[in-house]
Structure 1
Amino acid sequence: MTSTNTTAISERGLLRFITAGSVDDGKSTLIGRLLFDSKGIFADQLDAISRAKNKRTVGDTIDLSLLTDGLEAEREQGITIDVAYRYFATPKRKFIIADTPGHEQYTRNMVTGASTADAVIILIDVSKVKLNDDGSVDLLTQTKRHSTIARLLQIEHVIVAVNKMDLVNYDQTVYQRIVDAYSAFAAQLGLKDIHAVPMSALAGDNVVTAGDNMPWYQGPTLIDLLESLSVYDACHDEPFRFPVQLVARHNGHEANDFRGYMGRIEAGSVRRGQKVLLQPGGQEATVKDILTFDGSLESANVGQSVTILLNEYLDISRGDMLTEAERPATLSKNLKADLCWLSEDALDVRRKYWLKHTTRQVAARVTGIESLLDINTQQRREADTLRLNDIATVSVTVQQAIATDAYADLRSTGAFILIDEVTHQTVAAGMIRPGDSD
């Protein structure tokens, strides 16, 4: 396990994180505890969950999990089904939390929540982990699955929350065996920035405050860790990427022929006078102006939604991308990608799907399955189809060339989804592999 990163408070900014783990590992309770102990809930919310008819606690104890389990079906069944987002802040940082389901059939929801996360909290329930006589530990399949997805999605920080320590009398030996087992699995995956915390979300130990039950643990609490994690956005240093969402024209009564290209800067920065490249068209142009609701800008950075005006008249429409002329994206009709299959209907390699990449949507086919990943062993095997929650390396061919980057380099231009052309349901999420596109 690595030591905690320390950064200046002014550099910490907003942290997006998710909770992931198996069923009943205590994800919703943990988030409820974070909100409750950090004063991140209002009095009326507290009153509402105190009066809730579907509670999972005994007596008058507040069921903190109800703070995120908002659907009636979630409260009735005592499970998390949908991704629930919550916002809270401490004096040092602002947070957006995504509470994701633990059931295997809702893995697709976990993928959704993880796609924008800076950190993931992997919860491990000590009462469910099998401690073998030879000293080894059998981690649950969902722990391995969610860790694998975190690796595929390039989530930078992993916090291993060994929960429900009160059920094993806060035994340090049990905690250390679990941490050692996870560390070995994480090394196999290639996860690097890992921190472990022993806790009891129900009792509040080591969530916001340390408590007195684990004096042998001298490390930071969960909230201390979350406040100290670095969230430096590498996209500021990356080449300019601007998928066009809309072409804006004047209202027909103006003398000047206004033509602006609206969208969100997904990576890098742009300035007036800069040379940009239109992809897939291939023409170069010069930025004339950068407009926002508040007026004209000299330059704009990643994350800003702007309207870009060019000196040249080019045929540009939604789905095209303006990129840095010196460092363009890769144009390709054939992609290699890691694919998470999200549909209950199996992949049919004979069928056509819609591939949605940034603002561009093109017809596509999965032309081959290179290998299917076994979550437990991390070994790969042959497969002729993909089923719900399968993860595989595949080949995808698109009808028109698209401008992409490797997901490891840029999330926004390295990710895509596949859509069923009949039902219009999202059936898969893909991450483009480096160096394999052509």
Structure 2
Amino acid sequence: MKVLLVQTPSVESINSERVYPIGIVTLGTHLIQAGHRVVLLDMNLEADAYGALKNKLLTEQPDVVGLSLRNIDPLANKTSSLIPPFIITVRMVHTILPNTLIIVGGTGFSLFPKRIMQELPEIRYGIKGEAEYGFPKLLKDLEQPGEIPGLCYREKGQVVVSPVVSDFTFEDYLVPNRDLLPPDLYRGINDYVPAFGIETKRGCPLNCAYCVYPQLQGKSMRCRKPAEVVDEMEMLQARYGLRDFHFNDPVVNLPVGHLEEICEEILRRKLQVTWTGFFRENVLDLEKVKLYEKSGCSCFSFSPDGFCQASLNVLQKNLKVSDIIKAAELTAKTEVVVIYHFMTNVPGENTETIERSKALIDQLYAIHTPKRNLGAIVLNNIRIMPGTPIEAIARSQGEIDADTDLLYPVYYNPKKYATLRYALETYHMTKNVFMWQKMEV
């Protein structure tokens, strides 16, 4: 069977920071192993995305088109949505090849499978969650697929979503065949974000109040063998000349010991690479930080989210402010850039929490100014996602109601402090500019 896998638009424009779509490349690798012919298209690379899709459909004439909806919107406080271009993509496929089956998946789809399929009758099937097992099984019998975890289908005019089971094991992991989508297409396309991701684990045991990772990947952490992770990095460098990577994990340094083994393996092989990831603050120590830097860490990204203890508690971060400060003190001793992500106008915000926010900003700049390695403090309002504690809080407070459509960008941002983000951005950006210009605020 011939399958066209399409990464639908997942950024606002061709000038946005883009990433190599490891999801469809991984899935394509599994489909090839199952005996299918696979062609890939990433619409995010195309100046004329819909023209490229039309040409690919007419040229390839696939039996099945698999569409990946990775993001529903760009986040970062933006109100633009990626659902309209996705809908256009679905309708274009159906119009050009009306007899070709459309199957949809991806993290964005997995958050709203029933809603999306109800709105788009052109979609024959969807897969919620991981698809390495389910998609090949579905293609074996498209008329009577049987029981497949996460399968979304239509029955008597209704959309049915089968229970999801996060059962993929890295014993069955296939290193994505990057020849399906040549890495050269992505070389040098970003200014800040490494385009190439490496998967070292799936699952997140944390309970952050706004986050959907546990829904998407489960709470149990499934880890790849460290040597196999480095095998892949070494192969990508030798075959494609890649050396800058991002570890795609929800949290890169959990469970404790796994990242350390990867770093030690990088050093043992004397592999010249750089890598980034999102770190958990309260498991860092000086020895680990030195190991990360020595093995090529080029950016410590932290997402403590709460500026003060009250905010950390309501966001269910299971962190202390002292953990954030300790992480800053440890990383400020390195030559590595450090980035912090925080939420503003969280539930319970008041004049005291705002003053505490400014005080923490002051501390972070005081800690990092000697080496000037504080790259940025990123401030966001909370995007309300379905099934999260923040959704429940927002409903209980009347910030959203039964008519609120979470498929499109909705942020938790109560009116009283609706402009707080701008005030804090001005506060920290003043310090940032003055730090880099070696000036006193």
TMscore range, shorter length: under 0.3
In the superposition, the TM-score normalised over structure 2's length comes to 0.27
Higher radius of gyration, 1 or 2: 1
The structure carrying a bigger strand percent of its residues is 1
Give the number of the structure whose residues are more often helix, by fraction.
2
